[in-house]
């Protein structure tokens, strides 16, 4: 039962704050809409493409583990 409650938490907002970057700016850099960045930040998505993840990590100069957490 405990395993079912575990989920992937998106901590993109934390990393954006650390890099002092706005969602709009990130969206422009990685080529997706601001609305999709907001959805990603709120975790209201079913998945994230490796392509998008690569671009985010490149722009924010971080590792996937810095924006995704399993708990």
Partner 1 sequence: MMLYKSPISLWMSPITKLLGVALIFVNTLFWFMPDLAHSVAIMYSGIDASHYTLTPSNRFLGWLISSLQVSVLSYGFFTVASIFQDFANGIWFADSFSNKIKRFGISLLIFSLLSPVVQALTGLALTYSNPVTQRMISISFEIDGKGMIILLVGILLIFIGKVIAEATRLADENSQII
- Cα three-residue angle 61-7-46, rounded to 5 degrees: 75
Considering only residues 1 to 30 of the shown chain, the ones binding partner 1 according to CB under 8 A are none
Q: Site for partner 1 (CB under 8 A): which residue of 9, 14, 17, 45?
A: 45
Residue 55 CA: distances (Å) to CA of 6, 33, 59: 26, 14, 6
Q: Check residue 48 for interaction with partner 1 (CB under 8 A).
A: yes
CB 10 within 8 A of CB 43: yes
Closest to partner 1 by CB, 21 vs 38, is 38
Residues that bind partner 1 (CB under 8 A): 32, 36, 39-40, 45-49, 52
């Amino acid at each position: 039962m405990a395993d079912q409650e575990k989920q992937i938490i998106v901590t993109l907002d934390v990393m954006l704050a650390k890099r002092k970057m706005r969602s709009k700016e990130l969206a422009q850099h990685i080529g997706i809409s601001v609305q999709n960045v907001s959805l990603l930040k709120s975790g209201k998505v079913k998945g994230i493409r490796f392509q998008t993840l690569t671009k985010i990590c490149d722009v924010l100069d971080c590792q996937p583990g810095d924006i995704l957490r399993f708990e």
